Amino acid sequence: MIGPDATILTAYMLNRLTGIMSRLKVIESNVQRNLDLTRGLVYSSFVLVELMRKGMKRDDAYSVIQENSMKLWSKIEAGDAGMMFVDMLKKDERVTKLISENDMKRIFDKNNIFKNIDLIYKRVL
């Protein structure tokens, strides 16, 4: 009894999702604006991975990322609208001794966010 009902429900959900995705309109300028609202925090996972690749323990890397994220939000709440996450990281010696300026530019390249997007949608749909 559950198998056929679950299959029918799954087919219905996939049909609805396909309809939604086929009509989805992406306005690139809005995507970039929304990403910029995070002040670069969307790149935190990339920085975390890079710190671990350079030899930092995961828990330590997570603490560094979290600490700098919280500092950034405190500055934003205080009215410092121009501060970005990369600026916070460049002031942190724990980060700069492991990640070079060139690596930092590579990590914060906006193309990283969308690098595998086509593959992800292909697998999902």
Task: Please state, in angstroms and rounded to a whole number, the distance separating the CA atoms of residues 29 and 35.
Answer: 10
pLDDT digits (tens, 9 = 90+) for 31-46: 888 888 888 899 999 9
Q: pLDDT tens across 56-101, in order?
A: 999 999 999 999 999 998 888 888 777 889 999 999 999 999 999 9
Look at residue 100 in the predicted model and tell me its pLDDT: 92
Apex CA 102: angle with CA 98 and CA 106, to 5°? Answer: 100
Q: What is the pLDDT of residue 113?
A: 75
**Residue 21 in this model has a pLDDT that exceeds 90:** no
Can you give the pLDDT at residue 76?
A: 82
Question: pLDDT digit string (tens) for 98-112?
Answer: 999 999 999 998 887
Whether the model clears a pTM of 0.75, i.e. scores above it, the answer is no
Distances (CA, A) of 90 to 1, 15, 43, 100, 121: 59, 47, 14, 9, 34
> Which CA distances in Å does 14 have to 10, 22, 117, 125?
6, 12, 19, 9
Query: Structural domains in the chain?
Result: 2-124 (1.10.40.30)
Which amino acid makes up residue 52? M
Tokens of 78: 């205080």
Note the pLDDT of residue 122.
Answer: 83
